[in-house]
A and B are shown apart, each in its own frame.
Chain A
Amino acid sequence: MKSSPVLAAEPVRQAGRPRRPSIGARSRLTPYLYLLPAFVVYAAFMIYPLIRAGQLSLYEWDGLSLATFVGLRNYQEVFTDPDLRDSFAHALVLIFFYSVLPVLVGLLISSVLHRARIRGLGFFRTVVFLPQVIAMVVVAIAWRQIYAPDGTLNSVLEAIGLDQLARPWLGDFVLALPAVGLIGTWVQTGLVTVLLLAGMSRIPGELYEAARIDGAGPVREFFAVTLPAVRGEIVVALTLTIIAALKTFDLIYVTTGGGPGNTTSVPSYEVFRRAFELGQVGSASAIAITLTIMIFAINLVVNRIGERDNR
């Protein structure tokens, strides 16, 4: 900040014309003036709705008539209503399938692809990344067919003689949530793999050489060289996939609609249902705000842990 007057004065000196810089150019506010247009857009479409949602969450409102102020009761409900608590628990389960599993699988795939130095790496990268390119609704419809009672998965199981394992996956009270979660794993693994591959390609070859001279095998090499080097990429991958896990809506909406029972309901779906179908706008806003805070908090923790040893 202190340097700004100097910078502003410089062009004047170069031009050799002793002209006073305008008040606007000298002002410390100039940089903010440049930010203003973008900020106005950001404020109108991001900050205002967020504040408004925060305000709505303090009311009981059906979207039609005058709202009544209820203070924090909507938030209290988020923590006491067993159905809502379950939906948040389901979101946490989805984090395992959307983030933890893809990172583990992604590490495996990318280190194999990286080490093998096979021909046609671009092809495999594309194949792994492909699920990311397809619209989520299309993915969901395709998987609904796969999981259907007479769908692909059951047909395959029956063909190899595992009839007793065949079941209506999305209609099973215990397995519906993992079944939906695995769709997430399938989608997110590609993103994670590509991120990790990019990170690994930047590791200098000398490091591996040195490790090999020291007698490290492939496994040792992975833990000593590769893993620490891609720590940053893992943090980015976790951040992106955790957000995706917590805001899952389309997948649930298309595959199970929260069922069977309430076993796959998630917060985002509850927000939609309450606001647009049940006319409980206040409660929906409270869930949305809670979810926002949760996403912030979890990612803050992930990033803190990721950066800790880098300093």
Chain B
Amino acid sequence: MTRRSTPTVRMAAVAAAAALALSACTPGSNIPSSEGEADPNREVSTDVAGLGDITLTIWDQEVRGGQDEQMTQLNEAFQELYPNVTIDRNSQSFDDLGTTLRLALTGDDAPDVVQANNGRSDMGAFVSAGQLISLEPYAEAYGWKERYPESVLQYSTYSEDGATFGEGNVYGLPQVGEAVGVYYSKSKLEELGVALPETWEEFEAALATAEEAGEVPIHLGNLEQWPALHVFGPIQGTQTAVEEITALGLGNEGASWTTPENTAAATTLADWASAGYLGEAPNGTAYDDAWSAFAEGEGVFLVAGSWLAAGLDTEMGEDVGFMAPPPAQAGDAPVTTGGTGLPFAVTSGSDTPDAAAAYVDFITSAEAMQILADTGNVPVLETASFAPESGVLKDVFEVYGSVTSEGSLLPYLDYATPTMGETLGASLQGLIAGQLTAEEFLQEAQTDYEEFTGSGS
């Protein structure tokens, strides 16, 4: 027996030694440190042609039709402009990029330019880990602050330690814009004898009329939990001050979820749900099923993002329209949830930050905006001027243009804290199902917000 056990003991010893060797290195200690990051005051160059032969590695998520097309065209144009640059493009879906980017940034061979989601769990985390470089010097060199409105740029702006969102250094530039609004079926409104609502009051009246007529007032598919955020956001925009929502949405200190205004907003959503305004079973319907059903003629309104416009245009043609959530008073500036496409950022692991920044500048230039519009995307700048002649896309361009220039763009509420998407998603399902009261829902959100802002991170 003793002889038999010897190898086992030896093996256990080896395993123990391996475990010890492992524990000697703390996770994350092998990641290239951010110490080597360029000095913010160093000379930046906008001269790309003089950099010699270089390869730029770009990671983007522009995989769908028009998105992919604009990227291909812009990459070709950039390489034509600077023959010494070779672009190595790696394109993945949004979900895939979100999960692989973390690993890619910490690897030895990090890409030069990456598309990083704005929120704290992505861009914020990368900034605080020193994986992205501040683009401030380039913003000055290229005049980006004049190119972009402040309300757009704040979504890719962080303090140097990543703690404050919306203030500090610019870390990325977006190409396209997106906004949540109200799609409506023109034929259904006509059938109901309801004019297009111009105020919030008229909108709620239209919902009631639709409900009485046996139509689905707002088609909501909330099985995935996040779609309800896009309905709650615009409702909140009619009740709560823009600054308050921005602070809550960006997860900065000094705001509160448990205010009378937010309570009124939450109560509205709960009332809509119990009155059947959100369809028969919002929590049991999948998002894609809901908007396809709307496209097939089920439902009067659909509260959703501009990203559905192309799909709805194909399905419904002239029957579908898009408007900003109606304001309290007719003619008031529109306020709605929205933001930008994923901003392009430059990594601290890039060997040629100058060329990377030049690339970011190039794909957000005025010529690039034209290419974006031509390929069916919503350019983030001068949006209204690119609007097509007719159709729902014209509405989308005009709504985004007027919201960014006259009105206010409210941040997606799940930007606030790394866990806020989950917290709000789960508790909004509860609110819609009548499991939670408006107060309980707000308390859940407040707890998450306080835990985050209170911890000082």
On A, residues with C-beta under 8 Å from B are 1, 28-29, 32, 47-48, 51-52, 54-56, 59, 61-67, 69, 144, 147-149, 167-173, 256-262, 273, 276-279, 281
Tell which of B222, B284, B419, B422 touches A169, judged by Cβ atoms closer than 8 Å.
B284
- A262: B residues at CB distance < 8 A: 426
- B98: A residues at CB distance < 8 A: 276-277
Are B286 and A144 touching (Cβ within 8 A)?
Answer: yes
Tell which of B99, B128, B418, B435 touches A173, judged by Cβ atoms closer than 8 Å.
B435
Are A168 and B129 touching (Cβ within 8 A)?
Answer: no
B280 contacts chain A at the CB level, 8 A cutoff: yes
Are B223 and A259 touching (Cβ within 8 A)?
Answer: yes
Residue of B nearest to A1 (CB): B4
- A259: B residues at CB distance < 8 A: 223-225, 283, 425-426, 429
B9 contacts chain A at the CB level, 8 A cutoff: no
Complex CA–CA separation, A273 to B99 (angstroms): 10
Tell which of B23, B103, B125, B433 touches A62, judged by Cβ atoms closer than 8 Å.
B125
Given contacts A148-B285, A261-B429, whether A170 and B223 have CB atoms under 8 Å apart is: yes
Kindly provide the distance from the CB of A53 to the nearest chain B CB, expressed in whole angstroms. Answer: 11
Using an 8 Å CB-CB cutoff, how does the interface string of B274-313 with A read, 1 for contact, 0 for none? 0000001111111001000000000000000000000000
Tell which of A61, A168, A273 touches B283, judged by Cβ atoms closer than 8 Å.
A168
Report 24 cross-chain contacts, Cβ distance below 8 Å, ordered by A residue: A1-B3, A28-B7, A52-B22, A62-B125, A63-B28, A63-B106, A64-B105, A64-B129, A65-B130, A66-B28, A67-B27, A144-B286, A148-B289, A168-B280, A168-B281, A171-B222, A171-B223, A171-B281, A171-B282, A260-B225, A261-B430, A276-B99, A277-B121, A279-B125
- B28: A residues at CB distance < 8 A: 61, 63-67
Interface size class of B (residues with CB under 8 A): 35 or more
Within 8 A of A (CB), among B105-164: 105-106, 121, 125-126, 128-131
Are B27 and A59 touching (Cβ within 8 A)?
Answer: yes
- A257: B residues at CB distance < 8 A: 223-225
Within 8 A of A (CB), among B14-28: 15, 18-19, 22-23, 26-28
Are B27 and A168 touching (Cβ within 8 A)?
Answer: no
Residue of A nearest to B226 (CB): A257
- A260: B residues at CB distance < 8 A: 225, 283, 426, 429-430, 433
- A51: B residues at CB distance < 8 A: 15, 18-19, 22
Complex CA–CA separation, A172 to B434 (angstroms): 11
Kindly provide the distance from the CB of B422 to the nearest chain A CB, expressed in whole angstroms. Answer: 8
Are B31 and A55 touching (Cβ within 8 A)?
Answer: no
Kindly provide the distance from the CB of A51 to the nearest chain B CB, expressed in whole angstroms. Answer: 5
B185 contacts chain A at the CB level, 8 A cutoff: no
Residue of A nearest to B293 (CB): A150
Complex CA–CA separation, A65 to B289 (angstroms): 40
Complex CA–CA separation, A134 to B128 (angstroms): 44
- B435: A residues at CB distance < 8 A: 173, 261
- A281: B residues at CB distance < 8 A: 27
Complex CA–CA separation, A64 to B425 (angstroms): 26
Are A168 and B285 touching (Cβ within 8 A)?
Answer: yes
Are A47 and B23 touching (Cβ within 8 A)?
Answer: no
